[in-house]
Amino acid sequence: MYQPKLEKDIRCPLEYGLDVFGGKWKSRILCVLAKQGTLRYSQLRQEMINITDAVLASALKELIGDGLIIRKQFDEIPPRVEYQLSEKGYSAIPILQSICIWSGGYYKEKSDFTVRQCERCDFTENQTAGHQ
């Protein structure tokens, strides 16, 4: 696994927030878990489009490390692992919704390929109309 040569140099809360939510997949994972609740790895993988297992596993580890997701492992055969938002994770959802509303007012590009999570999201179209 990649180990950075230098420690992260985070000097303010905004930088911490951008680090926590940064990247292509973390916010999508949080939104899926907020909408779907507790999911097993395979279920979460099905909800994500075009993500590799390595990237999903890495993003989940980071989100768990940041305390946004709880991983529950059950001592069963075959092994069962479930993921759900923590209290801290749920507290981040309104922030992500606000970003979605704000960016929906400025992001006008239409595409035939919309992210599956965004197709189900009721925060962009319904709420950007009043903010334009």
Q: Is residue 118 part of a domain?
A: yes
How far apart are alpha carbons 119 and 39 in whole angstroms? 19
**What is the tens place of the pLDDT at every residue in 72-130?**
999 988 889 999 999 999 999 999 988 888 887 777 666 555 566 565 555 544 443 44
Copy the structure tokens of residue 52: 């590799």
- With respect to residue 126, please indicate whether it lies within any of the assigned structural domains: yes
**CATH number of 122's domain:** 1.10.10.10
Q: Is the pTM here over 0.85, yes or no?
A: no
Range of the domain at 126: 13-131
Residue 6 maps to a domain: no
- How many distinct structural domains can be found in the chain? 1
Which tens digits make up the pLDDT trace of 14-71? Answer: 888 888 888 889 999 999 999 999 999 999 999 888 899 999 999 999 999 999 999 9
Phi, psi of 34 (to 5 degrees): -65, -40
> How many angstroms separate the CA atoms of 73 and 115, rounded?
29
Measured at the alpha carbon of residue 51, what is the angle toward residues 44 and 47, in degrees to the nearest 5? Answer: 30
